[in-house]
Structure 1
Amino acid sequence: MQADGTIEAGVATEARWLPSLPLVLLGAAVLICALLLTQPLTLPLGPMYWDLVLYLDAANRIGDGQVPLIDFIAPVGPLGYWLFAGFDALFPRAHPLLLAQWCLFAVTAPAMAVILHTVGRQSRARAMALLLPYLAFQILPINVEHYSFFPGTDGFGIYNRHVSIVLYVLVCGLLFLRGPALAAIIGWTLIALFMIKITGFLAGGLVTAFALAAGRIGLRQALTVAAAAGLALIGFELATGLVSAYLGSILALIAINAGGILPRFVQAASLHLDIVGAGAALVLALFWLDRRDIADTALALRRQPSAAGFIRLLDRDVAWLAVVLAAGLFFETQNTGGQAFIFIWPVLLMILSRWLGSGRRGALVVCGLVAATAIPPAETVLQRGARALMAQAGYAALPNQHLGRLGQVSQHADVMNRASAMLDIYAAHPATFREFTAREMLPSPQLYSELDFQASWLMAVDEGVAAILAHERASGRRFETIMSLNFVNPFPAVMGRSAPRGIAIGADPFRAVPKPDDAEITLAREADLVLYPLCPVTVANEALRKIYAPVLTGRREIALGRCWKGYVKAG
């Protein structure tokens, strides 16, 4: 018996040290993604693909020694660009969209490993239920919004997806961890959210503040986390000055985008009405089913106020769901694409585990509403990802010679043919598109999300690179620093050149380009070549040309193919 007991005890001890299935799957997923990043893969082109150039441009600038938000304006925080630049050095053959999506594993995978290890010791099924959605959303570069009939991957909304995935990890930690592990997860994820996008940090802060009020975090623990995070940011500010520059850029963007917040909430709610509607119905159902206990607890708290009574009132399913749903809605008021509300799943899992099979009155309604809330984002991302993978087998590759990894895309042959034809039309009929610009209109209200525009823009960039190289050969002059009066500037990254300091990497003149001061104009004048796109001329590009008109003064104008006008620096 003693021998048998010793053997059993040894097996049990060994089992505790063996990695659980969820941890093995997490490690395998990370390894597979790393292996795929070593391959020159082609992905199906999706709407607003040119947003991806922000990451290529930022990484190229970082490689030149530029610091985000100090040396160039960025629409969000620097962490995503730093991660992309670091992984780009490790995986030079990787497709940039996969690189931008998967570099976030460096932030989320360690935190999820801690969560899965803790949760898996209590319930492997629950750990798997947290892991599988996380992997689907972390791996697939797919948004929940639809902008095209033909399936493709989404090069836009990348930093919004980053925020949603980090919020998913944070909510998992708040609901299923306690003690030092929870403190570490909170500090890690909130700092990451702050450095990715400030609205994500505010959404995460709201949920964390509620967790503190609901007693999931001790006050001493919260103060310790806040102090540690604050010291880290203060040290970072003293070393680089980046935190103050980041906050300054946020204030500048708020000034440009000032407007009523209520219409943004209505727009976000209507865009994601399937999730918001089902989630709101679930909140009402839980409140109704729990109304007596809520009323009794509130009355007892009124008669005899106490911290324990306050925690009992707050720490319940309906309150958690309402707060996380509100945080998600707030975050989506500033977004045009991403993986909206995916971080509500840990709350839904908690609700499901308490109601499924409980036999309680209303359990069927609750479980049905949980499914109605959880299914839309998961179904959309998985279905769109599967369609893109299947459709790519019959897609035509983008014809290009100079785009490198940026041009590793494909789309339906009809889209590619139309893109080529539209490029001919843009070049042959410039007066038509100048008329659109004069009327402050786009040729199509959804021009930038149309696949043929994105494909024709890539073709135009390819032609532009060829024209620049031909001019350099003919003139004997090399343009080391290139600026573009376009939303994004792919030329330095594609050609191995530099971009001027002080210029935004996402130059939307109506939302993200504050009026440049004298110092920024001086920096921009250092550009050897300034490019102006002609295929087609648009309102935004004309606005950029007016903003940077002082930079063009005294430059020599040259034609660079049919789609680009160049302004060459004197001398």
Structure 2
Amino acid sequence: MGIRQGSWRLAAFLLAVVAVMGGLALARGGLYIAKHEGDTLHLADMVLRMVRGQVPHLDYVTPIGILAVAPVAGLVALGAGLGHALILAQIVLGLLLVPAILRAGTSRMQGSWPWVLGALVLVFVLALVHGEAAPSTSISMHYNRWAWAISYLVLVLALLPALPGRERPWLDGALIGLGMAALALLKMTFFAAFALPVLLALALRRERRALLAALIVGLAVAGVVTLLLGPGFWMAYLGDLLQVARSDVRPQPGSSFIGVLTEPLYRLVSILAILAVVLLRKAGQAELGLLLIVLFPAFAFVTYQNFGNDPQWIYLLALLAFVARPEPGSRHAWGVDLRDGLTAVGIAALAHGAPSLQNMIYSPLLHLRLHEASQPLGPAGSVLADIHALDSRMLALTGTASISTPDFPQLGPPPVEEGAKISDRASVLNGETLPACALATGLTAWLRAVTADLEAAGQSGAGIFVTDTLSPFWMFGDFRPLAQGAPWYYDGAPGLADADLVLVPLCPISVSSRTAALEALAASGTDLAEIRRTSLYILLGKKIP
């Protein structure tokens, strides 16, 4: 792959990173999560549906690409528990990326920078937390980490010219095409954000052969997917993405787009990006500076779309600033040595991103040392038995609720105007306004209790439409997943046509999801009759005409 002589040391280092981080993660004998149990069940729902032969988008609704699920599902199908499968999938991906890291690093960078690039990419792949500054373990949003890892390699190959004597345009283009295809099948947000900057970078550098190779390989991957899954796969994928884009249940997972540019937590990031552009252009790197201008809104868009809003591109900005520095004393602007200026930008960028990066690096060790009492998500022998969650988050039911103040009406909620956003609207079932309560902890305890109660009430074997974010009862008891259902609810009434029952939580994970689902039920005209009510839920059945 055009690897320079002596790069076996880099290869050995990369394999050592995989061995250490992956080995620490596996050493615990399962996956131990300290938060995001709901996200873990969401992933389990998708994985187990695939194991049963269902295909994302065609058989169930999700905006998450098939590559986020298929590697894990394949390992579960081979007999691995879900927790082990998740960790092993990360190790396999890390190993698969090693040759691409070697090519990207040694063909574009000198000195220690290929090692830095490789370490960053593998940390994204092998971490057991998505980022942020609070030490914890969570497999939630693993696809975002994987997508950042692939994006780093694609962008390095596209943005930086090959070093003299190390040109391999057909190989580089093929790697770029594979990477972009992987992003499209992993999380479309990354593909949509980076497709134009990558095309522009190759065009500006007149890399016609690399561009042609990228297009050929990308289209070949699309062709193979179409051959295996049919042309309807792409339309179904697009439909799921559009449904999420139109949804007002969760229009954004955190700060607004403007917020990730201007809020205090991100303001320095924006300033550093602008400063890097100015310094690069002054340093004779006008082309790279222009590409960073195009990439900046793309980076911000991906950050805005990802929960936690970590600007994970900040490390790539630092790397580019270091690699593109001019020779010492060769260029100055405003009395400043531009090499020193870009060095300062790189150091500041790394310092700003250090808490999140340290959290990801440390997460496998934290996973090994997590000593709080925990228990498996599923019963012994089940595929969920090797995923453990903290007792403090699993067993105690706690929630948040609006306080009724009949003696002090001036303290009540403000009147809701027509057309108000969904988070302000009440959940109404057959004319009854349900309590504004949201579950905070105890999700798995709630699921187990409701599952046991439903089975005791003689509802085994039913398909259940749940007016909430998650509907994983089929993983906890004798129920079936809904055809065209949604492992994570965004909008409408997906799977309702296949449902026998409708379950309405009195204290859901998301009040907005419950409100949207109840409004969709009312709009569907489905005739429902209440058949059971407990302190936890209301159960309805379809009336037989």
State the TM-score, normalizing by the size of structure 2: 0.76
Task: Mark the CA change 1:230 to 1:438 in structure 2 (over 3 Å): closer, same or farther.
Answer: farther
**Residue 74 of structure 1: how far off its partner (Å):** 0.6
Whether the 8 Å contact between 2:131 and 2:359 is mirrored in structure 1 is no
**Residue 367 of structure 1: how far off its partner (Å):** 0.7
- Structure 1 stretch 222-231 or stretch 385-394: which is displaced more? 385-394
Q: 1:285 — aligned with what?
A: 279
Q: Does the alignment pair 1:372 with 2:323?
A: no
Whether the 8 Å contact between 1:112 and 1:169 is mirrored in structure 2 is no
Partner residue of 1:110 out of 91, 96, 100: 96
**Residue 57 of structure 1: how far off its partner (Å):** 1.1
Q: 1:136 — aligned with what?
A: 123
Whether the 8 Å contact between 1:485 and 1:545 is mirrored in structure 2 is yes
Whether the 8 Å contact between 2:173 and 2:212 is mirrored in structure 1 is no
Q: 1:93 — aligned with what?
A: 81
Aligned with 1:103: secondary structure?
helix
- Structure 1 stretch 549-558 or stretch 265-274: which is displaced more? 549-558
Q: Does the alignment pair 1:77 with 2:71?
A: no
Q: Does the alignment pair 1:532 with 2:504?
A: yes
Whether the 8 Å contact between 1:54 and 1:488 is mirrored in structure 2 is yes
**Residue 421 of structure 1: how far off its partner (Å):** 5.7
Q: Does the alignment pair 1:226 with 2:238?
A: no
Task: Mark the CA change 1:495 to 1:31 in structure 2 (over 3 Å): closer, same or farther.
Answer: farther
CA distance in 2 between counterparts of 1:193 and 1:437 reads 44
CA distance in 1 between counterparts of 2:91 and 2:424 reads 38
CA distance in 2 between counterparts of 1:237 and 1:400 reads 36
**Residue 321 of structure 1: how far off its partner (Å):** 3.6
Partner residue of 2:307 out of 336, 340, 343: 336
Aligned with 1:194: secondary structure?
helix
Q: Does the alignment pair 1:199 with 2:177?
A: no
Q: 1:43 — aligned with what?
A: 32
Aligned with 1:92: secondary structure?
coil
Whether the 8 Å contact between 1:20 and 1:117 is mirrored in structure 2 is no
Aligned with 2:398: secondary structure?
helix
Task: Mark the CA change 1:188 to 1:352 in structure 2 (over 3 Å): closer, same or farther.
Answer: same
Task: Mark the CA change 1:203 to 1:100 in structure 2 (over 3 Å): closer, same or farther.
Answer: farther
Task: Mark the CA change 1:107 to 1:236 in structure 2 (over 3 Å): closer, same or farther.
Answer: same
Aligned with 2:504: secondary structure?
strand
Cα deviations by residue, 1:68-111 (Å, 9 ceiling, x for unpaired): 1122211232221222322333463342xx75576355556424
CA distance in 2 between counterparts of 1:399 and 1:208 reads 44
Partner residue of 1:242 out of 216, 233, 240: 233
Cα deviations by residue, 1:20-50 (Å, 9 ceiling, x for unpaired): 133234334445637845864353422x441
Partner residue of 1:567 out of 532, 536, 540: 540
Whether the 8 Å contact between 1:45 and 1:410 is mirrored in structure 2 is yes
Task: Mark the CA change 1:210 to 1:155 in structure 2 (over 3 Å): closer, same or farther.
Answer: same
- Structure 1 stretch 248-257 or stretch 498-507: which is displaced more? 248-257
**Residue 398 of structure 1: how far off its partner (Å):** 5.6
Q: Does the alignment pair 1:319 with 2:290?
A: yes
Q: 1:363 — aligned with what?
A: 339
Task: Mark the CA change 1:350 to 1:151 in structure 2 (over 3 Å): closer, same or farther.
Answer: closer
Q: Does the alignment pair 1:348 with 2:318?
A: yes
Partner residue of 2:142 out of 158, 181, 194: 158
1:153-552 mapped onto 2 (5 Å cutoff)? 153-174=137-158, 175=160, 178-215=168-205, 218-237=207-226, 239-240=229-230, 241-256=232-247, 264-269=256-261, 270=263, 272-287=266-281, 289-290=282-283, 314=287, 316=288, 318-337=289-308, 339-342=310-313, 345-346=315-316, 348-355=318-325, 358-360=328-330, 361-383=337-359, 386=362, 393=370, 395-397=372-374, 402=379, 404-405=384-385, 408-410=388-390, 420=396, 422=398, 453-471=439-457, 475=458, 478-495=460-477, 497-507=479-489, 512-513=490-491, 515-516=492-493, 524-536=496-508, 538-549=511-522
Whether the 8 Å contact between 2:468 and 2:505 is mirrored in structure 1 is yes
| AA aligned opposite 1:363 | R
Whether the 8 Å contact between 1:233 and 1:243 is mirrored in structure 2 is no
Task: Give the gaps of 5 or more residues in structure 2.
Answer: 163-167, 331-336, 407-411, 417-421, 426-437
Q: Which has the higher strand share?
A: 2
Whether the 8 Å contact between 1:158 and 1:338 is mirrored in structure 2 is no
Aligned with 1:489: secondary structure?
coil
CA distance in 1 between counterparts of 2:260 and 2:152 reads 19
| AA aligned opposite 1:396 | A
Aligned with 1:163: secondary structure?
helix
Whether the 8 Å contact between 1:141 and 1:154 is mirrored in structure 2 is yes
Task: Give the gaps of 5 or more residues in structure 1.
Answer: 1-14, 295-312, 444-451
Aligned with 1:382: secondary structure?
helix
Whether the 8 Å contact between 1:525 and 1:551 is mirrored in structure 2 is no
CA distance in 2 between counterparts of 1:141 and 1:437 reads 42
**Residue 253 of structure 1: how far off its partner (Å):** 3.5
Whether the 8 Å contact between 2:26 and 2:87 is mirrored in structure 1 is no
- Structure 1 stretch 132-141 or stretch 150-159: which is displaced more? 150-159
CA distance in 2 between counterparts of 1:141 and 1:29 reads 14
**Residue 56 of structure 1: how far off its partner (Å):** 1.1
Whether the 8 Å contact between 2:94 and 2:126 is mirrored in structure 1 is no
**Residue 267 of structure 1: how far off its partner (Å):** 1.7
Whether the 8 Å contact between 1:84 and 1:99 is mirrored in structure 2 is yes
Aligned with 2:112: secondary structure?
helix
State the TM-score, normalizing by the size of structure 1: 0.73
| AA aligned opposite 1:268 | V
Q: 1:557 — aligned with what?
A: 531
Q: Which has the higher helix share?
A: 1
| AA aligned opposite 1:543 | A
CA distance in 1 between counterparts of 2:498 and 2:26 reads 36
Task: Mark the CA change 1:483 to 1:59 in structure 2 (over 3 Å): closer, same or farther.
Answer: farther
Whether the 8 Å contact between 2:61 and 2:240 is mirrored in structure 1 is yes
| AA aligned opposite 2:325 | W
CA distance in 2 between counterparts of 1:460 and 1:363 reads 58
| AA aligned opposite 2:222 | L
| AA aligned opposite 1:322 | I
Aligned residues: 492
